[in-house]
Structure 1
Amino acid sequence: MARFIAVRLGSLIVSLVVASILIFAVLRLLPGDPGSALLGPGTTVEQLEQLRNELGMNKSLASQYFDWIGSIFSGSTTAFISKLPVSELIVSKLNVTIPLSVGAFILSVLVSVPLGVIAGVYRNSFVGVAVSAISQLGLAIPVFWVGVILVWVFALNAGVLPAGGFPRQGWAEPGKAIESLILPVITVAVAMSSVMVRYVRSATLDVLDADYIRTARSLGYSRWGALARHGLRNGAVPVVAILGIELATSLLGAVVIENVFALPGLGSLLLQSVVSRDFPVVQSLVLLLTAVVLIMNFLIDLLQRAIDPRLRLSSVSGGGQR
């Protein structure tokens, strides 16, 4: 197990390094210049060169990359526009993005896991077919359209929830803050649940067709009793993988949906920074989101081996053969 953790940790570090290089390089390939975006039209060549020197844009690409990485470790990365520390900008937006992401994930788990199990157990009945059809419909509809529909129904027609925005006082007004997140949370949860229902259904079908479930049924267990006693742990292994991926994806989905609902989270910060060519903010934000996904995958691998002893035994036997 220790060897597996070391290998996966090394792979995680290499992946982060490669991701940082790609993020840095791709931004430099995009059209537009941060200096021109900052100074605006009518800028002279001398003014542009002076600003580029101040921003470090005239250095070699390698020097700019290592300056950025060094500033991340030292916590001194500064935005081009506001001149504020990037870490401070990101932290100030997390009070919107994290509740939105976590709330959507929890809601999607509470909905999709029971529905996925029901769709698997009653696969040949009307209920199972209906759940599967609804999940496919959820996959077909773009997530921003789900948000638009929810706004039209609950904000414009019913008038029971706000169409967008966030209280100026933030979580100092908890009631209004929660109300402003209800529709965005449901929007992200609908997209996530549509994916998760299908995976849970597939895992349930695999468990129900397993020999040990048939043996348990022959010993007198009901279908639900055999599934609860012998199937949950085996079915949890593939489900844990998709739950971990969806938790990371919920953060990415929240970033997109924030712009639909005009929420002042990481999504709005990222969009503003892209438009203004604020490279330090864009690079740091995209690297943060990438790191969340990679770290989540690393933790999923560890959790799967903790749940399923067969994975631990296979890694041990594989190490012995080598």
Structure 2
Amino acid sequence: MTYLLRRLITFPLVMLGVSVLVFVAIRLVPGDSITAMLGTEAGLLTPQQKQALAAYFGLDQSWLVQYGRWLLGVLSADLGLSVTYGKPVLDVILQRFPLTLELACLSMVVAIGIGLPLGVFAATRRERGSDLAVRIFAMIGQSTPSFVIGLMIIYVLSAGFGILPAMGQFIPFSEDPLGNIGQLILPALTLGLSFTASVTRISRSAMLDVLSDDYVRTARSKGATRRRVIWRHALPNALIPVVTLSGVEFGYLLGGAVLVEQIFALPGLGRMVLDAILQRDYALVQGSVLFVALNFMIVNLLVDLAYVMLDPRIRLGGRS
């Protein structure tokens, strides 16, 4: 409980630091948000009209005043008004976030569902041909960018099987579960396969360390079957580094896989942030980064708490 309270206390401090960094960084990007928002029509406005728009969105004030007003709004769950969508920033984020969350979860299922068994398989066949094959697969997977994997999947499906990925208007899961999965299965495979290589290498390395421990040899000497030794005794103790890696990767996925969302035309959080940066939509970028940072911290906290469930010998917040 002490550890949990200490982590919760640090949340506001970290969020404050993130807010300052993103506020300054987005304003250092060259360009004017009003001009970017209006595009070619910006030249039709008079200077007075531009000033009126800047005053409406609060962009005519100094940086310090803008930051203070924005921070006060954040404390009341008001992240500002998006100049791109003309709606509250929080509403825009919550509209895009479910897709990104679903894509992240499906990608993690793919990565862990493939990578963990492969890692265990390779560790139990150390220095054999199958182990070498798995290690080569992991090495290739880690060195191949996710967008390359996505383009290869699209090419193979279209050129080899005449199948194109389902794109167009996104279908929510609540409206059509099969249609929703059909749209997300290829993006999830693209992101999941990229992460599978890392899971495979980490789980193999962790299993090799655990299989050489005394308690594993003791279990074998007591007549435990090979399957029981691997899955009941060794694997639970090898999961901690896998959980750590999965937590970090899941946090990144919640930030939005921009390239994959662009390739498969998915209106997710990452694609929205990229468009907001191009449009100089200060409020939307600031709110999105703050939202992603909060989710990242929550995921890391849940990962730390999962350590205790995996290994009761670990005590958080007490002694080091």
The TM-score normalised by the length of structure 1 is: 0.89
How far did 1:72 drift? 3.0
Q: Which residue does 2:247 correspond to in 1? A: 244
**What is the distance in 2 between the residues matched to 1:169 and 1:198?**
35
**1:143-195 Cα shifts (integer Å, max 9, x gaps):** 10100000011134312342633447885344333222121111010111111
Distance verdict in 2 for CA 1:239–1:173, change over 3 Å: closer
1:279 and 2:282 matched:
yes
The AA in structure 2 aligned to 1:22 is L
Q: Is the 8 A contact 2:210 2:234 kept in 1?
A: yes
How far did 1:66 drift? 2.6
Q: Which residue does 1:11 correspond to in 2? A: 10
Task: Return 194-203 or 248-257, whichever deviates more.
Answer: 248-257
The AA in structure 2 aligned to 1:52 is A
Distance verdict in 2 for CA 1:157–1:176, change over 3 Å: farther
How far did 1:68 drift? 1.8
The AA in structure 1 aligned to 2:254 is L
Distance verdict in 2 for CA 1:134–1:4, change over 3 Å: same
The TM-score normalised by the length of structure 2 is: 0.90
Task: Return 106-115 or 80-89, whichever deviates more.
Answer: 80-89
Task: Return 131-140 or 265-274, whichever deviates more.
Answer: 265-274
**What is the distance in 2 between the residues matched to 1:163 and 1:193?**
23
Q: Is the 8 A contact 2:254 2:296 kept in 1?
A: no
2:156 paired residue among 142, 153, 156: 153
**What is the distance in 2 between the residues matched to 1:166 and 1:194?**
32
Flag structure 2 segments of 5+ consecutive residues without an equivalent.
none
**What is the distance in 2 between the residues matched to 1:28 and 1:165?**
33
Task: Return 153-162 or 102-111, whichever deviates more.
Answer: 153-162
Q: Is the 8 A contact 2:150 2:263 kept in 1?
A: yes
Q: Which residue does 2:224 correspond to in 1? A: 221
Report matched runs for 1:256-271 at 5 Å. 256-271=259-274
Q: Which residue does 1:38 correspond to in 2? A: 37
Report matched runs for 1:1-322 at 5 Å. 2-39=1-38, 40-41=42-43, 43-76=45-78, 77-162=80-165, 164-167=167-170, 172-252=175-255, 254-312=257-315, 315-318=317-320
Q: Is the 8 A contact 2:171 2:180 kept in 1?
A: no
**1:106-125 Cα shifts (integer Å, max 9, x gaps):** 12111111111111111211
SS in 1 for 2:255: helix
CA RMSD of aligned residues (A): 2.3
Q: Is the 8 A contact 1:155 1:163 kept in 2?
A: no
Q: Is the 8 A contact 1:86 1:280 kept in 2?
A: yes
Q: Is the 8 A contact 2:83 2:281 kept in 1?
A: yes
Percent pairwise identity = 33
How far did 1:51 drift? 2.2
Q: Is the 8 A contact 1:270 1:282 kept in 2?
A: yes
How far did 1:315 drift? 4.7
Distance verdict in 2 for CA 1:162–1:237, change over 3 Å: closer
How far did 1:130 drift? 0.8
Distance verdict in 2 for CA 1:176–1:207, change over 3 Å: same
Flag structure 1 segments of 5+ consecutive residues without an equivalent.
none
- Aligned positions, number: 316
**What is the distance in 2 between the residues matched to 1:81 and 1:253?**
19
**What is the distance in 2 between the residues matched to 1:8 and 1:287?**
17
**1:243-295 Cα shifts (integer Å, max 9, x gaps):** 22222233235343111111122233222211111111111112212221121
**What is the distance in 1 between the residues matched to 2:96 and 2:106?**
16
Distance verdict in 2 for CA 1:315–1:210, change over 3 Å: farther
Task: Return 91-100 or 201-210, whichever deviates more.
Answer: 91-100
Distance verdict in 2 for CA 1:182–1:66, change over 3 Å: same
How far did 1:53 drift? 1.9
Q: Is the 8 A contact 1:139 1:195 kept in 2?
A: yes
* 4+ aligned runs moved over 4 Å, structure 1: 167-171
Task: Return 148-157 or 24-33, whichever deviates more.
Answer: 148-157
Task: Return 120-129 or 232-241, whichever deviates more.
Answer: 232-241
- Structure that is richer in helix per residue: 1
How far did 1:316 drift? 3.0
